[in-house]
Amino acid sequence: MDIRIGNGYDVHALAEGLPMWLCGVRIESATGFVAHSDGDVAIHALCDALLGALALGDIGHLFPDTDPAWKGIDSKILLSKVMDRVRAGGWRVGNVDVTIALQRPKLAPRIAEMRATLAPILGVGADAVSVKATTTERLGFVGRSEGCEVWATVLLLKD
């Protein structure tokens, strides 16, 4: 069996009155993400991890923010398109692990929904999709609620 590992990282700025999407789930919040797409910074990091595992570049290369086709797009569609690339190479997801750094709101009540949303797109059970959330103890740009930072790791398998 062949295995590949990939990591992804993304940051989006927060601003008042914009929607907040994380792992495909709409989060109730007074602030949301500044972005060309729907701003789902967690899915963007996950896409970069998948692309990174296969050395296929990055999400900005695949879906440039200068292209009006991607304006306001649901990031779940971007993830599906990235998964098409993964499957085209004969790969499948083993597991993914996502860490979201956000000062507020608290994400713990929505984690199960996030895992259940991502799992079918990734073609795995929710038990293979880890989503973790942390604050940064009010330190740095995350702690000042100026933005959100996400790290994602994926394992890909080919039988």
Which H helix or E strand runs over 148?
strand 147-158
Rank residues 4 and 44 by Cβ distance to Mg ion and give the closer one.
44
Separation of alpha carbons 104 and 28, rounded Å? 10
Q: Does 76 bind Mg ion (CB under 5 A)?
A: no
Q: Report residue 56 as tokens.
A: 């296929």
Q: What is the nearest approach in angstroms of Mg ion to the Cβ of residue 158?
A: 28
115 binds Mg ion (CB under 5 A): no
Q: What is the DSSP letter of 137?
A: T
Closest approach of Mg ion to the CB of residue 41, in Å: 5
Measured between alpha carbons, how far is 70 from 55 in angstroms, rounded to an integer? 22
Residues 17-46 as x/- pattern, contact with Mg ion by CB under 5 A: ---------------------------x--
Binding status of residue 10 toward Mg ion by CB under 5 A = yes
Distance of closest approach, residue 153 Cβ to Mg ion, in angstroms = 17
Residue sitting closest to Mg ion (CB): 44
According to the binding rule CB under 5 A, does residue 149 interact with Mg ion? no
**Count, residues near Mg ion per rule CB under 5 A:** 2
110 lies in the site for Mg ion, by CB under 5 A: no
Question: 129-134 and 20-22 as β-strands: parallel, antiparallel, unpaired?
Answer: unpaired
Cα gap 130→120, rounded to integer Å: 14
d(C-alpha 31, C-alpha 13), whole Å: 10
CB of 67 or CB of 158, closer to Mg ion: 67
Can you tell me which residue has the tokens 């990734």?
122
Provide the binding-site residues for Mg ion, judged by CB under 5 A: 10, 44
